[in-house]
């Protein structure tokens, strides 16, 4: 599956009141792996940023004067995003701004150009109810290094969010066998009868077992003690 983690920076908080996008950062994942095929745009918003917004992103109005306008990069952006699942933290904000920019150039709303939109803020609220779920808070909770984030930046934030998303969904990994070869296609997997293989059983060592127990403890705390596996005891070996 092709996924794009996306973030924007803007001149302010209200697309409806005329605020514009000044930066777009996109990070590509294929089969939950970073590919390095990223996109990054600075944009001339044709207006100045609000003072409070500049304190967040640190991008000066002067720096953006000679940057392309959204209309100039729209086709390249939409071609890149086409057919992908888009992953955004607090998606209504970014999607609202992107749709408004598309509306200005006579294009259809953002969601019509992509496969789907996933909001990691909603995911985090379900996993960690009642806790702070900002990107910085999630980085701290999930042990994602955000030490380089002194100001908000669309590409940096998208890279951090990609790591956060992989940690949030780490239980969704599938056991697939890569058959290799020139005809291998991302997003498809050949079904293999594993009964024909002599598969070794490798027991976890003490360090791995401790790390596994730490993850279970974290999930216990996040669910408010509602996990069920702690109630099961392994059957006695005869």
Closest CA to 45 of 102, 105, 101: 101
**Neighbouring residues of 129: CB distance < 8 A, sequence distance ≥ 6:** 224
Q: CA–CA distance from 55 to each of 27, 52, 61 (Å)?
A: 24, 5, 12
Which residue's structure tokens are 């069920």? 228
- SS3 (DSSP) at 4: strand
Distance CA 137, CA 144 (A): 10
CA distance 141 to 1: 27
Q: Is 26 helix (H, G, I), strand (E, B) or coil?
A: strand
CB 115 within 8 A of CB 81: no
Q: Cβ neighbours of residue 176 under 8 Å, at least 6 residues apart?
A: 31, 189
Cα–Cα separations (whole angstroms), residue 89 to 101, 103, 160, 199: 19, 22, 11, 40
152 in catalytic set: yes
**Of these residues, 40, 152, 184, 212, which one is catalytic?**
152
In 3D space, the residue among 158, 39, 46, 41 whose CA is nearest the CA of residue 105 turns out to be: 46
- Return the active site residues: 152
């Amino acid at each position: 599956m092709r996924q794009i983690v996306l973030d924007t920076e803007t001149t302010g908080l209200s697309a409806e009141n005329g605020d514009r996008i000044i930066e777009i950062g996109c990070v590509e994942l294929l089969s939950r792996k970073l590919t390095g095929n990223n996109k990054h745009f600075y944009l001339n918003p044709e207006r100045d940023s609000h003072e409070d917004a500049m304190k967040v992103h640190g991008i000066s109005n002067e720096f953006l004067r000679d940057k392309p306008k959204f209309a100039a990069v729209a086709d390249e952006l939409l071609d890149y995003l086409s057919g992908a699942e888009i992953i955004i933290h607090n998606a209504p904000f970014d999607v609202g701004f992107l749709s408004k920019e598309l509306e200005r150039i006579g294009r259809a709303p953002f969601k019509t150009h992509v496969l789907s939109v996933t909001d990691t803020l909603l995911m985090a609220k379900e996993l960690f109810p009642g806790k702070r779920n900002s990107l910085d808070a999630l980085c701290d909770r999930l042990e994602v290094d955000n030490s380089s984030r002194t100001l908000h930046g669309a590409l940096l934030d998208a890279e951090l969010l990609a790591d956060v998303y992989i940690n949030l969904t780490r239980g969704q990994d599938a056991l697939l066998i890569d058959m290799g070869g020139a005809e291998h296609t991302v997003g498809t997997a050949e079904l293999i009868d594993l009964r024909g293989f002599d598969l070794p059983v490798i027991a976890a060592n003490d360090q791995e077992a401790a790390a596994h127990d730490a993850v279970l403890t974290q999930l216990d705390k996040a669910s408010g003690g509602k996990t069920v596996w702690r109630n099961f005891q392994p059957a006695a070996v005869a």
